[in-house]
Amino acid sequence: MAERLTENEWQARTTEQAGLAIGEWLLAGNKLKWRVEQLTRADLAAMASNAISRYIQLRQERESEGKLSPWFEQDV
């Protein structure tokens, strides 16, 4: 049977996976002026957390303006 995660454990795991995906994306298109390899897992997790928070904020703003339907429904 699959392990049941608490909400905090799920959030931490999701943020870590998003951070790793950001790292892979940065490495794939490395046209940056700094070395991506120097980023730590904590750096990537922080980037992911900020990106997720910003997405939620923008999504809520667009919903309140009537530009999007509620969460998990198709955009209008």
The pair phi, psi for residue 63, each rounded to 5°, is -65, -45
Per-residue pLDDT of the chain (76 residues; tens, 9 = 90+): 567 878 888 888 888 888 888 888 877 776 665 677 788 888 888 888 888 888 888 878 887 887 766 555 554 4
Query: pTM of the full predicted structure?
Result: 0.57
Report pLDDT for 75: 47
Question: Is the CB of residue 45 less than 8 Å from the CB of residue 16?
Answer: yes
Cα distances from 43 to residues 13, 23, 76, in angstroms, run: 15, 10, 35
Report pLDDT for 59: 79
Report pLDDT for 14: 84
Report pLDDT for 76: 43
